[in-house]
Homo-oligomer: A and B are copies of this chain.
């Protein structure tokens, strides 16, 4: 845990340069706009600890799988969002000295991520080896409005000398991924050119044996220069190397003059433009950007962020650290996914690092969807669902590779295109609960939005294919006289290849039941009947009546491991053979994923993240409060929360049980996970998908928001540590602002349409623009 980031309600502030934490700060200060993004790297040369990272959404490289011993069904490659052209690079020379903070005396250093207006700013005074002193101020952003463009303003003021400043703004495609499986570089150069103050670099992903799509990314820049705010002419010398192009310019300056470089960049990919048009398109795009100019672009950026915050801000009074934490989480989620493109999704690290390959995990459905449902237009959440529908054919092929048939679909654990990329059998083949999360997301979306048309148009295709998977994945145990599910890995990845994981079995049975009920519903729907259960995807055939009967038989006869003595469902068969310790017994051994061998972890009772409790969270209506409490009390003490996805589920359950203190204790772990580098891994990038869990902790946890029968309800409490909190959620066309105060809740309908909500057990009807006050009810700890 590190606490060098300064608390501030709207900014992430590094005060004084913490070179030893630079890779962490780079992660935290990442910028993105859903279409591209990059880590908070320095523009100028830095020979200290740094992880250069620039990413273009959806542009991936199929990196050949690295595996010890191959097994049938393993994926051949891991598709990873690759480190792309570094367009932030600006080499700086002061007379004959290179500016490199690793070799200067640095004073007055500040690096600030301004979340309110969406930019990264940095200033410092550097004393070079020669004694020359300069002040530097740099500011950049990835435009939300022009989402394939970015701009940098880089200003230098010599403080104690007259001399020559050399800027070499680069397009640098000679980059590599630190996580490259075989140490390869992934790009080849297609074209480069440079003119006066302009440059163009087009790269293509290397061809491979896997014959996946090749991507071209064209990056173009234009610069202008000012001295003391006045544009000046300059000579531009082209610097060209393999996959690199720069415009070098020299400026003679006097002490206290400020030389300012503006660097406008556009970054277009063949995902959005025909490859042969990229050159022409970048020129048009670049011209538009340059014509707008830096100040207008920055103003647009501030406006775009203001309108985003108007929908999703959470205001916490009385706790600046918590305020900063929640805004940081919301900011990063918004930077990562905008819902404009159904081919994109939310990588666990977003645009903040390489780890996990920038690919799609079940995190999206299980953790991120609720955030986008409540804070954005329903079309945004719908895009996340359509993404999976588009990949249904690949999911069917994934299942076929494992020996399933008849259109059964197994969605991948990790993917860019729908093809499985994860190559550990215990995850790839066994952590199949992800398939259930994808079905659950459809349920969650329809429940929240009321948009039943989605089911007919897309959802049922997916549900039927998933149901077919489960029906083939279980087998009848003659010994138990029940359906069992062997060889699975639950959400608790500290167990592998277990039999009858409660969560997976329960979720599978639910999927079958939900699919069955939707098929019945659709059959009674005339429009659907006329199309004779013809599904969208030609590969998904209508289930036969025998199939439906078989599914029902599984629903009625699914085995769930249960301990009659404790009256709790067991995480898996044999769980009680373990030595049942609690986290308190192993205080000095944590985190166990760093201190213990995998062998020891696997055999222990310790739980990485909610597993049985994940099921109770998803299906809380199926369990009464005393049952929830029994399970929570059995499993939570064994849970080490070594996944960033773990605490939020526990916050929500603890809140549901009226355990305010426990809920808050768990919340603290998740809210500043990256800002305080709680897991000692933020240098790899931020935990983007778990940030949605933090949001859920507040909204579903503290505020107890639920949607049932088309109505939204709240059961709020105020953590003792806070003075109040206020949040906004959208529900079926109405935007609500909810302020939770010590003694009352103020709920305001900020839209025009009337809405009826529940607060505790009260029904509250709010006309457009109206607000009401409801007294806070004391929580009753269970």
Chain A residues with a Cβ under 8 A of chain B: 65-69, 71-74, 182-183, 401-403, 422-426, 429-430, 475-480, 484, 486-487, 496-500, 573-574, 576-580, 593-603
Contact A68 B67 (CB under 8 A): yes
Task: Give the residues in chain B near A429, CB-CB below 8 Å.
Answer: 597-599, 602
The answer to whether B577 touches A479 (Cβ under 8 A) is yes
Interface contact B497-A594, CB-CB below 8 Å: no
Interface of A is mostly: loop
Q: Which of these, B401, B499, B580, B593, contacts A597 with CB under 8 Å? A: B401
Query: Across the interface, do A573 and B574 meet the contact criterion of CB distance under 8 Å?
Result: yes
Closest 9 CB pairs of A and B: A73-B597, A429-B599, A479-B576, A71-B598, A402-B597, A477-B577, A497-B497, A403-B600, A487-B603
Tell me, in angstroms, the Cα distance from A69 to B423 when the chains sit together.
9
Contacts of A423 in B (CB 8 A): 68
| Cβ–Cβ < 8 Å partners of A72 in chain B | 593-598, 601
A504 to chain B, nearest CB (A): 13
Chain B residues closer than 8 Å to A486, beta-carbon distance: 574, 577-578, 602-603
Contact A599/B73 with A486-B578, A574-B499 known, Cβ cut-off 8 Å: yes
Given A67-B67, A182-B183, A577-B499, is A403 in contact with B477 using a C-beta cutoff of 8 Å?
no
In the assembled complex, the Cα of A606 lies from the Cα of B484 at a distance in Å of 18
Cβ distance A429 to chain B, nearest Cβ, rounded Å: 4
Nearest chain B residue, comparing its CB with the CB of A69: B424
Q: Which chain B residues lie closer than 8 Å to A183 at the CB level?
A: 182
Using CB atoms, name the residue of chain B closest to A574: B499
A600, B402: Cβ atoms under 8 Å?
yes
Contacts known (A182-B182, A574-B574); A597 close to B403, Cβ less than 8 A = yes
B598 touches A425 (CB 8 A): yes
Q: B67 near A475 (CB under 8 angstroms)?
A: no
How far does the alpha carbon of A573 sit from the alpha carbon of B484 in the complex, in Å? Answer: 14
Question: Taking CB as reference atom, which chain B residue is nearest A410?
Answer: B599
CB closest residue in chain B, given A402: B597
Other than A73-B597, A425-B598, give 4 A-B pairs with Cβ distance below 8 A.
A426-B496, A480-B577, A486-B574, A486-B578
A594 to B, closest residue via Cβ: B72
Measured between beta carbons, the chain B residues less than 8 angstroms from A477 are: 576-578
Distance of A611 Cα from B111 Cα, bound (Å): 62
- Residues of B within 8 Å of A68, CB to CB, are 65-68, 422-424
Q: Are A475 and B579 in contact (CB under 8 A)?
A: yes
By a CB distance below 8 angstroms, the chain B residues around A574 are: 486, 499, 573-574
Give the complex CA separation of A498 and B487 in angstroms.
Answer: 10
CB within 8 Å for A599 and B403 given contacts A573-B573, A578-B486: yes
Most buried by B among A68, A72, A475, A476: A68
For the complex, give the distance between the alpha carbons of A594 and B73 in Å: 10
B-side contacts of A487, CB under 8 Å:
599, 602-603
Among A73, A182, A423, A425, the most chain B Cβ lie within 10 Å of the Cβ of: A425
CB neighbours (8 Å) of A74 from chain B are: 598
CB of A362, distance to nearest CB on chain B (Å):
17
**A67, A486, A597 — which one has the most chain B CB atoms within 10 A of its CB?**
A597
Is the CB–CB distance between A497 and B598 below 8 Å? Answer: no
Cα–Cα distance between A429 and B600 once the two chains are bound (Å): 9
- Please indicate the chain B residues that have their CB under 8 angstroms from the CB of A602 in the complex: 425, 429, 486-487, 497
What's the minimum C-beta distance from A161 to chain B, rounded to whole angstroms? Answer: 46
Query: Contacts A73-B599, A497-B497 hold; do A478 and B576 have CB atoms under 8 A apart?
Result: yes
- In the complex, 15 of the A-B residue pairs with CB atoms within 8 angstroms, ordered by the A residue number, are A67-B67, A67-B68, A68-B422, A68-B423, A402-B600, A403-B599, A430-B599, A475-B577, A475-B603, A480-B577, A486-B578, A487-B599, A497-B497, A497-B498, A499-B577
Residue of A73, A183, A497, A598 with most partner-chain B CB within 10 A: A598
Q: Give Cα distance in the complex from A487 to B597, angstroms.
A: 13
CA distance A478 to B599 in the complex (A): 21
Residue among A74, A475, A578 with most chain B CB within 10 A:
A578
A499 to B577: give the CA distance in the assembly, Å: 9
> What is the CB-to-nearest-CB distance from A570 to chain B, in angstroms, rounded to a whole number?
10
Q: Could you tell me the distance between the alpha carbons of A69 and B577 in the complex, rounded to whole angstroms?
A: 28
Task: Report B-chain residues with C-beta under 8 Å of the C-beta of A600.
Answer: 402-403
Cα distance A183–B498 in the bound complex, in angstroms: 36
Residues of B within 8 A of A573 (CB): 573-574, 577
Kindly state the separation between the CA atoms of A430 and B598 in the bound complex, as whole angstroms: 10
* CB-CB nearest in chain B for A592: B72
Which residues in B have their C-beta under 8 angstroms from that of A422? 68
Please report the C-alpha to C-alpha distance between residue A66 and residue B603 in the assembled complex, in whole angstroms.
Answer: 25
Chain B residue, CB-CB nearest to A68? B423
Q: How far is the CA of A748 from the CA of B599 in the complex (A)?
A: 53
- A599 adjacent to B497 (CB under 8 Å): no
Residues of B within 8 A of A603 (CB): 475, 486-487
